[in-house]
């Protein structure tokens, strides 16, 4: 009996050690971390340079409260992140995780509206399915029924538009008309809600756990930007999962040259070494808020120097090891190998992804796109089988969190061909055991 509890009662093996892409439990069993935890450990486990940077910071100071001190680590990390963002996005607010970053973005957007005489703007439009975090504000913009339903009476109902799942709607994702079709649903939603009541639109540039690596159709991102501009609606890019190189660029939005007003990031920034997140905003949003008396928001651990030193060292490693490039190269190989599995295994109905944010989806029938019966719990059973074989992958239900099963394959960005072989062999064996 343990005093810990998470989602359920099931006990997990006790982690003993982790190095690179591998993890070992207390019984000596080895696992290949094929999902980087929850798409977190982008540079792999126990990177010696990051550990050394953390030790150096620990010898100086591990905490300085943000209202009492700036620290060299937080100043340097903020400057580094600003340099990686499009010009103008250069105001950085540190937090300890993705949900905190999303909450911070929504609250900054609201305070900006108040400071600029747009107090009627309070709605944040998001997509279904989507995942933006588990705190009540972030959950209100999450489109994932299983997670949101119990808390609906406690949240403000935020408007939703469909995520651009061209593969389910039998549309060609490479046709700009498809991107326009989905983006125009945002336009219609803003109009029906009343443009003066809409504060922001938040989206995951490449879908994460909710949609299973959904890549937007051609033209979608550019059109979304135009629509937001037309209605004075802020564009918040949730790069919590996609940021820090996961999709082959430091930020996924770079693939479409779409300039957000606010970026939120977390997972790959702390990369599993420390809890860390950031909201990076356009100075044009921040200045009026500061002029009007300040940002009424903040978390005790914000800008923690140990976390910032680790984050800085993580980015240094991403750059020094060329991990964005490796994510692109290995991601293309992984997608091709997953497509090969799809050819052999009828149960795989779709393969998708960008960089090393890749997924496949189980379907009962490829033509009709019918999901497997819910009672099969395919996503969980497959993950358990793979785990038994020493391969960690990540999964969720795909369609509004109610049905559909996808498996995310998202190894650390340091993977090489040998690791890829091992991952694909593990998937193949697990598929054979599953079917
Ligand atoms: N946004 C996205 C896109 C995520 O994938 C997640 C977590 O999976 C979050 C926000 C919430 O992050 P956290 O779990 O660190 O609060």
Q: What is the pLDDT of residues 301-340, one digit of tens each?
A: 999 999 999 999 999 999 999 999 999 999 999 999 999 9
Burial of 72 (C-beta count, 10 Å sphere; 0-12/13-18/19+): middle
For the Cβ of 99 lying below 6 angstroms from any atom of ligand 1, the answer is: yes
CB atoms closer than 10 angstroms to residue 223: 22
All CATH 3.90.1150.10 domain ranges in the chain, comma separated: 15-46+322-434
Lowest mean pLDDT among 74-88, 333-347, 395-409: 395-409
Q: What is the pLDDT of residue 5?
A: 81
86-99: pLDDT as tens digits = 999 999 999 999 99
Q: Quick one: pLDDT band at residue 107, thresholds 50, 70, 90?
A: very high
Query: What does the DSSP 8-state code read for residue 155?
Result: S
Spatial distance between the Cα atoms of 399 and 395, rounded to a whole number of angstroms: 12
Say how far apart CA 57 and CA 308 lie, in whole Å: 9
- Is 221 touching ligand 1 by the criterion CB < 6 Å? no
Cβ neighbours of residue 300 closer than 8 Å, sequence gap 6 or more = 65
Domain(s) labelled CATH 3.40.640.10 in the chain stretch across 50-320
Phi then psi for residue 161, to 5 deg, are -125, 160
Upstream peptide bond of 129 is cis (omega within 30 degrees of 0): yes
Report the separation in Å between the CA atom of 148 and the middle of ligand 1, taken as the mean of its atom positions: 14
Expressed in angstroms and rounded, the spacing between residue 132 Cα and the centre of ligand 1 is 5
331 Cβ below 6 A of ligand 1: no
CA distances from 291 to 89, 116, 295, 308 (A): 18, 10, 10, 27
Of all atoms in ligand 1, which is nearest to the CA of residue 135? 16
Note if the pTM is more than 0.80.
yes
Structure tokens at 114: 């108040």
Q: Which of 99, 103, 408 to mutate to test the pocket of ligand 1 (most atoms within 8 A of CB)?
A: 99
Is-contact 198 121, C-beta < 8 A?
A: yes
Statement: 50-320 belongs to CATH 3.40.640.10:
yes
Q: How confident is the model at residue 41 (pLDDT cuts 50, 70, 90)?
A: very high
103 C-beta closer than 6 A to ligand 1 = no
Residue 1, pLDDT above cutoff 70: no
Q: Does ligand 1 lie within 6 Å of residue 361's CB atom?
A: no
- Write down the pLDDT at residue 398: 74
For residues 424 and 433, give the distance between their C-alpha atoms in angstroms, rounded to a whole number.
Answer: 14
Nearest CA to ligand 1 atom 14: 98
CB 29 within 8 A of CB 15: no
Report pLDDT digits (tens) over 183-216: 999 999 999 999 999 999 999 999 999 999 999 9
Ligand 1 centroid – CA 35 distance (Å): 14
Contact yes or no for 264/236 (Cβ under 8 A): yes
pLDDT at 7 over 80: no
Per-residue pLDDT tens over the stretch 347-397: 999 999 999 999 999 999 999 999 998 888 888 899 999 999 999 999 988
pLDDT tens for 223-243 read 999 999 999 999 999 999 999
Q: Is the CB of 266 under 6 A from ligand 1?
A: yes
What pLDDT is attached to residue 4?
Answer: 81
Two tokens, residue 252: 């996924």
| Calpha distance 228→234 (Å, rounded) | 6
Q: Is 240 in the pocket of ligand 1 (CB under 6 A)?
A: yes
Q: Which two tokens stand for residue 330?
A: 């290995």
Q: Is the CB of 98 under 6 A from ligand 1?
A: yes
* DSSP state at residue 376: G
ipTM, 2 decimals? 0.99
CATH number for the 15-46+322-434 domain, one of 3.40.50.300, 2.40.50.140, 3.30.9.100, 3.90.1150.10? 3.90.1150.10
Query: Among 339-343, 419-423, 430-434, whose mean pLDDT is lowest?
Result: 430-434
């Amino acid at each position: 009996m343990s005093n810990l509890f998470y989602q359920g009662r099931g006990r997990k093996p006790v982690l003993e050690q982790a190095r690179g892409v591998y993890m070992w439990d207390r019984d000596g069993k080895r696992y290949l971390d094929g999902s980087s935890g929850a798409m977190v450990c982008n540079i792999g486990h126990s990177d010696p340079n990051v550990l050394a940077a953390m030790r150096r910071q620990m010898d100086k100071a591990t905490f300085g409260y943000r209202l009492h001190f700036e620290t060299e680590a937080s100043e340097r990390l903020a400057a580094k992140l600003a340099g990686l963002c499009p010009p103008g996005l250069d105001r950085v607010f540190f937090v300890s995780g993705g949900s905190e970053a999303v909450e911070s973005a929504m609250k900054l957007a609201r305070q900006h509206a108040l400071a600029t005489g747009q107090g009627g703007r309070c709605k944040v439009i998001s997509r279904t399915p989507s995942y933006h975090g588990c705190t009540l504000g972030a959950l209100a913009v999450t489109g994932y029924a299983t997670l949101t339903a119990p808390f609906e009476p406690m949240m403000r109902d935020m408007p939703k538009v469909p995520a651009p799942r061209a593969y389910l709607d039998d549309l060609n994702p490479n046709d700009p008309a498809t991107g326009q079709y989905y983006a125009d649903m945002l336009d219609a939603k803003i109009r029906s809600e009343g443009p003066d009541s809409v504060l922001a639109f938040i989206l995951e540039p490449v879908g994460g756990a909710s949609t299973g690596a959904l890549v937007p159709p051609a033209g979608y991102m550019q059109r979304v930007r135009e629509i937001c501009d037309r209605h004075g609606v802020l564009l918040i890019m949730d790069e919590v999962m996609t940021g820090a190189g996961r999709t082959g660029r430091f930020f996924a939005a770079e693939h479409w040259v779409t300039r957000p007003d606010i970026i939120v990031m977390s997972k790959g920034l702390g990369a599993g070494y420390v809890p860390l997140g950031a909201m990076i905003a356009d100075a044009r949003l921040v200045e009026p808020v500061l002029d009007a008396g300040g940002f009424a928001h903040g978390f005790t651990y914000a800008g923690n120097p140990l976390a910032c030193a680790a984050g800085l060292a993580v980015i240094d490693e991403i750059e020094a090891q060329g991990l964005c490039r490796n994510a692109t190269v290995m991601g293309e190989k992984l997608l091709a190998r997953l497509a090969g599995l799809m050819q052999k295994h009828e149960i795989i109905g779709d393969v998708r992804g960008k960089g090393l944010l890749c997924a496949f989806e189980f379907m009962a029938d490829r033509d009709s796109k019918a999901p497997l019966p819910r009672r099969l719990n395919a996503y969980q059973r497959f993950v358990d089988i793979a785990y038994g074989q020493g391969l960690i992958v990540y999964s969720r239900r795909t369609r509004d969190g109610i049905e559909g099963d996808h498996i995310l394959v998202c190894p650390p960005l340091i993977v090489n061909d040998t690791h890829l072989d091992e991952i694909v062999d593990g998937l193949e064996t697990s598929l054979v055991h599953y079917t």
